[in-house]
Structure formats: structure tokens, C-alpha cells
Amino acid sequence: MNHLIISCIGPDQAGIVDQLSKVINQHQGNWQVSSLHHLSGFFAGVIEVAVSPEKTDDLKNALGNIQNLNCQIELAEPNLPKVSSNLVLELTANDRAGIVQNVSSVIHHQGGNLIKLVSSQSSAAHTGQVMFKAKAQIVINEEKVDELVSALEQIADDLMVDISR
């Protein structure tokens, strides 16, 4: 089986996921993993699909022909080892420009590999202050965890870091 990584973006409208799943199903593709979002009036998604080598080109062409949806498709190397996260960080701080860059830079410089990042903004209950919240899955040497947490907490006084394994 080939594994395709499909990145799609286009104006959000009802039925986009149905349309994508129909095209994938019509070409005997198996929808593996996805992350789909509505962002400022746009649909944005990343999908991993397993498909037979004989159907790969036809599926890629069909996905490229979906109206009002821009899809970039890459063929993944099938024999790469699976990466599993060994640490989940939950981060909360007052929102500000550059916070994602600060966090990702600290993770990188402490020897961590960011596997998944999901972030959001919300208003604090009592103050209305815009809060940044993120959940990050990372792989890092166990001996570096304390240094990582310390370095993250140095980013700002208001940054709270919760860890689960």
C-alpha cells in the first residue's frame, strides 16, 4: 500500500468532508488519520490515506479536481519507523505574538521533537484576557524533561506547563 499525505485548503462549505471521503472511497483508499479544521471561513485539513499502488495516480488526480479545494499530495515512505510520543505538554499563558515560536524553539533546543501541536485562544473567565492554550506531543530524552520544563517556564512568568506521559 502507498500512503498519501494530503493537505487541503479552501473556502469552507457544507459537504467538503463528504466530498473528500467519497473521492477517497471511490478509489478504494483507506482514510487513516486526519486533522480537519474551520479557520476564519476556510476549511483546512491534513489526511493520511492508504491506497493501492494501482489506484494512487487516479486518486491524486481526482483529489486535484475537487472544485474550490486546493490539495497538495505527497507520497510517504512506507518503511519509515513509527514515531510515538512519550510526553504530552499542556501549556497555558496570556496570548501574545510569537508564543508558538518561543515554545517550539525551546522544545527544539532542548533536543525534543514536536510530533503534534494543537493550539487555541479563549477568553479568561474573570478578566476577559485572551489566553493561549496548547497541547503538544513531543519525543524527548527522559533525562532532558526537567530541563525542558524549566526552559519553557523561563519563556514568561505566566506560562503554566502540565506534563503527562
User: Each residue of 54-64: pLDDT tens digit?
Assistant: 999 999 999 99
Residue 43: what pLDDT? 96
Residue 79: what pLDDT? 55
Q: In the chain, what percentage of residues exceed pLDDT 90?
A: 63
Residue environment code for 90-119, b if the CB has 16+ CB neighbours within 10 A, otherwise e: ebebebeeebeebbeebbeebebebeebee
**Domain covering 87-164 in this structure, CATH number:** 3.30.70.260
Q: What sign results for the dihedral spanned by CA atoms 155, 157, 159, 161?
A: positive
**Domain covering 2-76 in this structure, CATH number:** 3.30.70.260
Cα separation, 127 vs 1, whole angstroms = 52
- Beta strands of the chain (E only): which ranges? 2-11, 30-39, 42-51, 70-76, 87-94, 113-123, 130-139, 160-164
From 3, 5, 6, select the one nearest 79 (Cα to Cα): 3
Q: Yes or no: say if 2 and 53 are a contact pair by the CB < 8 Å rule.
A: yes
Residues of the chain with CATH 3.30.70.260: 2-76, 87-164
Indicate whether 165 pLDDT > 80. no
Residue 159: what pLDDT? 84
Helix, coil or strand: residue 86? coil
Mean model confidence pLDDT for the chain? 90
Confidence band for 146, pLDDT divided at 50, 70 and 90? confident
Indicate whether 38 pLDDT > 90. yes
Helix, coil or strand: residue 33? strand
Cα separation, 82 vs 84, whole angstroms = 6
Residue 149: what pLDDT? 86
Give the pLDDT confidence of 69-84 residue by residue, as tens digits: 999 999 997 555 554 4
